[in-house]
């Protein structure tokens, strides 16, 4: 394939920065000793067959730890699937990496399958910066990696899936979360102390990445006052029920905004101003519905009493509109978080609507409840940061 190869470590003309070991477990200890003699200081042990199997495997792992200490080595693994650095186009995983387009989210995994899967699966258009599976953590551990990502300028949000959450991990999250959001799956038995430490807790795995994107695409909110736009009193009610639970409240709109909404958005029989329930439109027409959304978002964006805008997009094909055209001007200003919940959108329209929102970097959620939770998470995080500093 055009790459230089060598029969043994001695033949390598210079000292490599990093060695990756993928040998059978009975050969690994000798290989690490040979690498140490060569002067290699960083080794990724992707071989399995160590402490995860106890017995002889545990003895081999103890030997690796001893060699590392004696030779000032750093070891990742053993039993690791490896790591991916999208920014530097570097991967040691034997599982595929489909694209090296780098984002701002990094991931620490205690599962090789879940960590490796992020090489080909990018949830909700979220892009990763670095992914590390630590395996048995005989040397480099989760706490050290959390601290590394805290000072890594390319990482804006730290995400994690830990099977075993140690006191050291909790203590490190307490330190690191003051600098960057740490979004992770929180098992119920440690959820309270993780929340107190500053972790942003997801209740299920995919929610880790749903919550992470709110920090990538949303500006800092000035407060917790929310304006809601939608076509359905039922969908809007789903949001209203959860505002208080998530530390949010409806904003009292200023008179100028009220005047604009009555003139350009609301039906003359509208019962509320905020939530902005524009239904029914004069016609089942996407142009009219798009213009109503555009006018509403632009007015709310200028209202000093509104900190966050939640868009409930419930669209049949007759009223589908070009979301990119409607919201581009508002999104580009970046003044306030705009969060979208796409519910009950016909399949043929859904992809177009969601892709348009992705292009504008407006976070998209498949349920109103998730959008409200994300808004609350964003507010609480920034409130905590202000308090800590």
- Does residue 143 fall inside a structural domain? yes
Residues 135 and 152 in one domain: yes
Residues 145 and 165 in one domain: yes
* Entry field: residues in the chain: 389
| pLDDT tens per residue, range 303-356 | 999 999 999 999 999 999 999 999 999 999 999 999 999 999 999 899 999 999
The mean pLDDT of the chain is: 94
Residues 234 and 367 in one domain: yes
Res 47 pLDDT > 80: yes
Residues 240 and 368 in one domain: yes
Residues 66-81, mean pLDDT to the nearest whole number: 96
Residues 296 and 344 in one domain: yes
Residues 305 and 362 in one domain: yes
**Full residue range of the structural domain in which residue 70 is found:** 9-76
Three-state DSSP at 108 gives strand
Residues 18-29, mean pLDDT to the nearest whole number: 96
pLDDT at 268: 85
Say how many domains are in the chain.
3
Q: What are phi and psi of 239, to 5 degrees?
A: -70, -45
Among 59, 76, 93, the domain boundary falls at 76
- Does residue 2 fall inside a structural domain? no
Element (H, E) at 227: strand 225-230
* CATH number of the domain to which 104 belongs: 3.40.50.261
pLDDT at 262: 96
Share of the chain above pLDDT 70, in %: 99
Rounded (10°) CA dihedral 17, 19, 20, 23: 180
* CATH number of the domain to which 15 belongs: 3.40.50.720
Please name the residues in contact with 308: beta carbons below 8 A apart, sequence gap of 6 or more. 221, 224, 225, 226, 227, 248, 336, 337, 338, 339, 375, 378, 379
Q: Residue 49, by phi and psi: left (phi above 0), alpha (psi -120 to 50) or beta?
A: left
Three-state DSSP at 20 gives strand
Element (H, E) at 288: helix 286-302
Residues 232 and 199 in one domain: no
Q: Please give the residue that has the higher pLDDT: either 251 or 111.
A: 251
Among 76, 108, 131, the domain boundary falls at 76
Q: Please give the residue that has the higher pLDDT: either 232 or 257.
A: 257
Share of the chain above pLDDT 90, in %: 88
Whole-angstrom distance, CA of residue 389 vs CA of residue 387: 6
Closest by alpha carbon to 123, among 255, 212, 245?
212
Q: What pTM, to 2 d.p., does this model score?
A: 0.92
- Does residue 45 fall inside a structural domain? yes
**CA 266, 270, 276, 281 torsion: positive or negative?**
negative
pLDDT band at 124 (very low <50, low <70, confident <90, very high): confident
Res 39 pLDDT > 90: yes
Look at strands 276-277 and 338-342 and give their pairing.
unpaired
Res 52 pLDDT > 60: yes
- Does residue 343 fall inside a structural domain? yes
Residues 190 and 233 in one domain: no
Residues 72 and 103 in one domain: no
- Does residue 275 fall inside a structural domain? yes
183-190: long-range contacts (C-beta < 8 A, 24 or more apart)? 183/157, 183/158, 183/159, 183/208, 183/211, 183/212, 183/215, 184/159, 184/160, 184/208, 185/160, 185/161, 190/165
Residues 128 and 179 in one domain: yes
H helices present in 199-247, as ranges: 205-217, 233-243
pLDDT at 389: 43
Res 288 pLDDT > 90: yes
Residues 212 and 268 in one domain: no
Are 89 and 128 in contact, with CB atoms under 8 Å apart?
no
Whole-angstrom distance, CA of residue 171 vs CA of residue 377: 21
Residues 63 and 153 in one domain: no
- Does residue 1 fall inside a structural domain? no
Both structure tokens of 388:
């800590």
Residues 83-97, mean pLDDT to the nearest whole number: 94
Res 233 pLDDT > 90: no
Among 26, 57, 76, the domain boundary falls at 76
- Does residue 4 fall inside a structural domain? no
Using CA atoms, how far residue 164 sits from 11, 126, 187, 240, in Å, is 41, 26, 10, 36
Q: Which string of DSSP letters, residue by residue, matches 122-164?
A: -GGG--EEEEEE-TT-SSS-HHHHHHHHHH-TT-SEEEEE-SS
């Amino acid at each position: 394939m055009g790459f230089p190869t060598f029969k043994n470590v001695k033949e390598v003309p210079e000292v490599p920065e990093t060695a990756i070991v993928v040998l059978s477990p009975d050969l690994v200890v000798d290989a690490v000793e040979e690498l140490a003699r060569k002067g290699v200081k960083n080794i990724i042990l992707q071989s399995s067959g160590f402490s995860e199997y106890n017995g002889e495997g545990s003895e081999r792992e103890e030997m690796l730890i001893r060699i590392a200490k004696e030779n000032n080595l750093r070891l990742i693994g053993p039993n690791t699937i490896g790591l991916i650095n999208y920014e530097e186009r570097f991967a040691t995983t034997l599982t595929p990496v489909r694209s090296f387009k780098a984002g701002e989210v990094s991931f620490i995994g205690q599962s090789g399958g879940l960590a490796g899967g992020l090489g080909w699966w990018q949830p909700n258009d979220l892009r990763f910066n670095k992914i590390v599976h630590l395996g048995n953590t005989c040397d480099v551990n989760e706490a050290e990696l959390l601290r590394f990502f805290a000072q890594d300028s390319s990482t804006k949000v730290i995400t994690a899936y830990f099977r075993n959450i140690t006191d050291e991990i909790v203590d490190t999250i307490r330190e690191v979360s003051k600098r960057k959001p740490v979004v992770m799956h929180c098992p119920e038995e440690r959820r309270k102390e993780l929340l107190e430490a500053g972790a942003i807790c997801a209740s299920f795995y995919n929610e880790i990445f749903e919550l992470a994107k709110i920090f990538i695409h949303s500006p800092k909110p000035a407060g917790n006052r929310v304006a809601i736009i939608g076509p359905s009193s039922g969908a809007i009610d789903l949001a209203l029920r959860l505002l208080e639970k998530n530390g949010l409240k409806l904003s009292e709109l200023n008179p100028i905004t009220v005047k604009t909404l009555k003139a350009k958005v609301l039906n003359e029989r509208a019962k509320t101003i905020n939530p902005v329930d524009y239904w029914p439109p004069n016609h089942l027409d996407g142009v009219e519905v798009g213009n109503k959304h555009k006018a509403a978002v632009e007015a709310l964006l200028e209202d000093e009493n509104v900190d966050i805008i939640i868009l409930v997009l419930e669209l049949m094909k007759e009223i589908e509109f070009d979301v990119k055209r409607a919201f581009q001007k508002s999104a580009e200003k970046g003044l306030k978080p705009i969060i979208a919940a796409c519910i009950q959108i016909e399949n043929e329209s859904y992809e177009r609507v969601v892709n348009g929102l992705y292009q504008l970097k407006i976070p998209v959620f498949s349920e109103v409840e998730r959008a409200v939770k994300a808004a609350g998470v964003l507010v609480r995080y920034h409130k905590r940061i202000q308090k800590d500093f």
